[in-house]
Amino acid sequence: MARPRTVNPRQNRYFYRSESAGITSLSEAHQCTVYKPRTMHFHTDLQILGILGGKGVGIETPKQSFPLKAGQVVIVPPNQKHSFLTGSSTPGADFIDILISPKIQPVLTEYLSRFAKMKWVYTASRKELLALRDEMRRLFESPAPSLAAVMEKLWRLVVLVETASYHPDKHAADKQPNDVRLRLAENRMEELLDDDIDVAAIAARVGLSVSQLTRLYLKEFKMTPGRRLREKRIERAKEFLVASQLSVKEIAVSCGFQDPNHFCRIFKKYNRVSPGRYRKTIHNPKRGEETSDTETRDFA
């Protein structure tokens, strides 16, 4: 008879649960080790795993196995047999582990299940996943984290999956500017998209004047740094509109726009539709065609 699976006493950096919100569990496992032989199991919840690090990490199904690496996000649909592996090496695996109830969160689980039907494993941005990990640690260090803040982090993880599904090679082979100063400026923009920061602040952070930075951007990207920053913010906003339930006003602030009306004008300039209509068109094309553009001022 096979020896039952044994699990190294799991060290969670934090553990969160909200039955009313459909979050069965949300935790960050630290140095978790699962030894062979393993037994398949399933659960009625949808599971999301964000791999932060570790050796020999993988996931198995009755038909195949998937080796995993840091930066990848795994979606396990409800009632699907699987086994999560980390080998027997030390220090073990680090990962974000979330279980979501389909009964309480039908929209979220149905949306993620669409991705799981295509594949279980998505290669997201390791940098963004680690940044999200740091934010979640700070959030759960507080004595009573709000449910709204927890859900915002959860949807951020969903956005990583959505981005990886539409841009499978974005993070694996993203071309970087040759000029190190441009690479630094690009990194600063990505890091500060949610801040009300301007080109002068970006230039100062990389040790250049605005005119010097503008010349570099015109040469490399054929556009000014101001336009580049706006385009990055609009792309981030589109990701939130597709994959989150945040209001238009909340998305505007999360993408560095302090005035929602200004955000709606810029968004429509780039996409020819308002944020609200864009969201409805993506989720329900027929309904989106029938919707007027009056929701640009609906920030609820």
112 with 29, same domain: the answer is yes
Instruction: Report which residue type is found at 88.
Output: S
Q: Is residue 161 part of a domain?
A: no
Q: Is residue 174 part of a domain?
A: no
Q: Is residue 145 part of a domain?
A: no
Distance from the first to the final alpha carbon of the chain:
59
186 with 271, same domain: the answer is yes
CATH number, domain containing residue 72: 2.60.120.10
Q: How many domains does the chain have?
A: 2
pLDDT at residue 191 in the model: 76
pLDDT at residue 280 in the model: 82
pLDDT at residue 176 in the model: 61
126 with 185, same domain: the answer is no
Residues of the chain with pLDDT below 50 are 1-9, 35-37, 168-174, 285-300
Q: Is residue 209 part of a domain?
A: yes
pLDDT at residue 174 in the model: 44
pLDDT at residue 105 in the model: 87
Looking at 136, 168, 189, which one is the last position of a domain?
136
pLDDT at residue 33 in the model: 67
pLDDT at residue 56 in the model: 62
pLDDT at residue 193 in the model: 79
CATH number, domain containing residue 275: 1.10.10.60
Q: Is residue 169 part of a domain?
A: no
Q: Is residue 199 part of a domain?
A: yes
15 with 115, same domain: the answer is yes
Instruction: Report which residue type is found at 104.
Output: I
188 with 127, same domain: the answer is no
pTM of the prediction?
0.54
pLDDT at residue 229 in the model: 92
Domain that holds residue 233: 180-297
Q: Is residue 170 part of a domain?
A: no
Which of 49-76 are b and which e, b meaning 16 or more Cβ less than 10 Å from the residue's Cβ? bbbbbbeebbbeeeeeebebebbbbbbb
* pLDDT digit string, tens, across residues 37-58: 457 888 999 999 998 887 667 7
Give the CA distances from residue 263 to residues 6, 151, 272, in Å, rounded to whole numbers and listed in that order.
52, 23, 13
Which of 141-165 are b and which e, b meaning 16 or more Cβ less than 10 Å from the residue's Cβ? eeeebeeeebbbbbbbbbbbbbbbe
